[in-house]
C-alpha cells in the first residue's frame, strides 16, 4: 500500500538561479531580457519527461518546479509498482529524484518556485514567479497536474496511504480478499468500484443520494455486479483506525443516524481539480477546467503553448501516461519552433513576405483543425 510521506521539497530544494547563461537562449531587445526556447511549468512525470526530451534536443529547458510540491503527486507516496522498468517497484520520491537528475544531466535548469502569472499570447510568453522573477520563452509546456478532491473528514489525512486511497489502479492490488469502501456516485466512482471487485471480498459504494450520477449503462452494470453493494443516502463522516483503516462512520443523509461499517480500505472517487487557475480565460479549458488539446497532440488553443500530463487527462491519470505526454509535448514544441524558424528564414529570403505572416499563428500548427492526418517529424538530438 502506498504510504504518505512529507511532501516537502526533498528533491533538494535550491534557490532559483539566474537564467542568463543558457546557451541556446536569445536576447530579445524589446524585452531587454533572455528569451528561452521553452519553459516547462510543473515537475511531475510529465514536466520532467518533457525536460529530458527538450534538453536532449538542445532546447535548454527551464523547469518551474513549484516551491513545495516539486516532483509532483508521486512525492506523496511510497511504493510505485506499475512504473515500467522497476521489477521490484520503486519509492515515489526516488523515481522523481531520478527523473530530475536525468533532466539535469542533459542541461535542464530546475527552478524551485511557483509560477503566479502566465502571459501566453504572442511570440514571447512570460512566466512570473512568486519571487517576482519573470521568465520569457518562445514556447511553454504546461504540466501542472491535478489534485484529488478530498472529503476533508476526520482520519482521512492520518490514514492516507494506510487504507485511504484516491487511485484504485495504484492501490487496489493491496486489498485482496478484504472489505473495501468506495465513496462517490459518478462515473469514476462506479468505474473504481467495479475495478475493485476483482480484488476485494466485498466492495461497498457509499453515495449521498438514492441513485447514481453515473451514466445509465454504467449504473446498470454496477447494480448487477454481485460483489458490489450500495449504501444509499449515506455520507462518510469519519475514517477510523489506529495504524490502518478499520471502519468508516456513515451518516444517513435523511435521518442523520450514524453507524460504523467495518472496512480495510476507503477509495475516494469524488473528482479531481486540474491546476489551471493561472490559465482561466487565456486558453481553452473544458467544463471541468482541464486544458483542451488538439487530437492526440499536446497543442493547446494558443500557438506555442503545449500541455501534458494529468492537467489534460480525465481518463488515465497515471505516472506513465503523464510521462508519455510529456515526451509528446517536448517533440511538439521542438517541431513548432523548427516551423517558426523556417517561416522566419522564408521571410528573409522573400522580401515580399509581410511581418504579419512571420508571426506564429494557428496555421503554423500542423495539427490545427485536423485530428488524424498529422505527420510529425521527430526532432534531432534524441
Ligand X SMILES: Cc1cc2nc3c(=O)[nH]c(=O)nc-3n(C[C@H](O)[C@H](O)[C@H](O)COP(=O)(O)OP(=O)(O)OC[C@H]3O[C@@H](n4cnc5c(N)ncnc54)[C@H](O)[C@@H]3O)c2cc1C
Binding site for ligand X (CB under 6 A): 2, 41-47, 64-66, 69-74, 76-77, 80, 82-83, 114-115, 143-145, 166-167, 170, 275, 278, 309-311, 317-320, 322
Least Å distance, CB 104 to ligand X, is 15
Is 327 one of the catalytic residues? no
CA distance 62 to 135: 9
CA distance 147 to 169: 16
Is 179 one of the catalytic residues? no
Using the minimum distance from each CB to ligand X, give the nearer residue, 66 or 304. Answer: 66
Q: Please return the burial class of 205, using the count of CB atoms within 10 Å of its CB with bins 0-12, 13-18 and 19+.
A: buried
Using the minimum distance from each CB to ligand X, give the nearer residue, 118 or 212. Answer: 118
Helix segments in the chain, DSSP class H: 45-56, 92-105, 168-171, 187-196, 216-223, 319-349, 355-358
User: 93, 74 in Cβ contact below 8 A?
Assistant: yes
CA distance 270 to 221: 20
CA distance 265 to 224: 22
Least Å distance, CB 157 to ligand X, is 12
Is 167 one of the catalytic residues? yes
Using the minimum distance from each CB to ligand X, give the nearer residue, 261 or 273. Answer: 273
Least Å distance, CB 233 to ligand X, is 29
Least Å distance, CB 281 to ligand X, is 16
Using the minimum distance from each CB to ligand X, give the nearer residue, 298 or 340. Answer: 298
Candidates 132, 119, 49; CA nearest to 305 is 119
- Out of 170, 310, 327, 332, pick the active-site residue: 170
Backbone angles phi, psi at 344, to 5 degrees: -65, -40
CA distance 342 to 66: 34
Using the minimum distance from each CB to ligand X, give the nearer residue, 157 or 380. Answer: 157
User: 274, 309 in Cβ contact below 8 A?
Assistant: no
- Out of 167, 225, 252, 339, pick the active-site residue: 167
Exposure string for 340-377, b = 16+ CB within 10 A, e = fewer: beebeeeeeeeeeeeeeebebeeebbbbbeeeeeeeee
CA distance 319 to 68: 19
Least Å distance, CB 228 to ligand X, is 23
Using the minimum distance from each CB to ligand X, give the nearer residue, 76 or 365. Answer: 76
User: 325, 308 in Cβ contact below 8 A?
Assistant: yes
Catalytic annotation, residues: 167, 170-171
Amino acid at each position: 500500500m502506498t504510504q504518505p510521506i512529507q511532501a516537502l521539497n526533498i528533491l533538494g530544494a535550491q534557490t532559483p538561479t539566474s537564467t542568463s547563461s543558457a546557451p541556446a537562449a536569445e536576447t530579445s531587445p524589446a524585452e531587454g531580457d533572455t528569451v528561452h526556447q521553452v519553459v516547462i511549468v510543473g515537475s511531475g512525470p510529465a514536466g520532467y519527461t518533457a525536460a529530458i526530451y527538450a534538453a536532449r534536443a538542445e532546447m535548454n529547458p527551464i523547469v518551474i518546479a513549484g516551491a513545495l510540491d516539486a516532483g509532483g503527486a508521486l512525492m506523496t507516496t511510497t511504493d510505485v509498482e506499475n512504473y515500467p522498468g522497476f521489477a521490484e517497484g520503486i519509492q515515489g520520491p526516488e523515481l522523481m529524484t531520478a527523473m530530475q537528475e536525468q533532466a539535469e544531466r542533459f542541461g535542464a535548469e530546475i527552478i524551485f518556485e511557483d509560477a503566479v502569472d502566465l502571459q501566453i499570447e504572442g511570440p514571447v510568453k512570460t512566466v512570473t514567479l512568486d519571487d517576482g522573477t519573470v521568465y520569457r520563452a518562445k514556447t511553454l509546456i504546461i504540466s501542472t497536474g491535478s489534485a484529488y478532491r478530498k472529503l476533508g473528514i476526520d482520519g482521512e489525512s492520518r490514514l492516507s496511504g494506510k487504507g485511504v486511497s484516491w487511485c484504485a489502479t495504484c492501490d487496489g492490488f493491496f486489498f485482496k480478499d478484504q472489505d473495501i469502501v468506495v465513496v462517490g456516485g459518478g462515473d469514476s466512482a462506479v468505474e473504481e468500484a467495479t475495478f475493485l471487485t476483482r480484488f476485494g471480498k466485498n466492495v461497498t459504494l457509499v453515495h449521498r443520494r438514492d441513485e447514481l450520477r453515473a451514466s445509465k449503462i454504467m449504473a446498470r452494470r454496477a447494480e448487477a455486479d454481485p460483489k458490489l453493494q450500495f449504501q444509499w443516502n449515506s455520507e462518510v463522516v469519519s475514517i477510523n483506525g489506529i495504524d490502518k483503516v478499520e471502519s468508516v462512520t456513515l451518516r444517513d443523509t435523511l435521518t442523520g443516524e450514524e453507524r460504523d461499517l467495518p472496512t480495510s480500505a476507503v477509495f475516494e472517487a469524488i473528482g479531481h481539480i486540474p491546476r489551471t487557475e493561472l490559465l482561466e480565460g487565456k486558453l481553452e479549458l473544458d467544463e471541468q477546467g482541464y486544458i483542451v488539446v488538439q487530437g492526440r497532440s499536446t497543442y493547446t488553443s494558443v500557438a506555442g503553448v503545449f500541455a501534458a500530463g494529468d492537467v489534460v487527462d480525465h481518463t488515465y491519470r497515471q505516472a506513465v501516461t503523464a510521462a508519455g505526454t510529456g515526451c509528446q509535448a517536448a517533440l511538439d514544441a521542438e517541431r513548432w519552433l523548427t516551423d517558426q524558424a523556417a517561416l522566419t528564414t522564408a521571410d528573409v529570403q522573400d522580401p515580399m513576405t509581410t511581418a504579419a505572416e512571420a508571426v506564429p499563428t494557428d496555421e503554423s500548427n500542423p495539427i490545427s483543425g485536423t485530428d488524424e492526418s498529422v505527420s510529425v517529424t521527430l526532432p534531432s538530438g534524441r
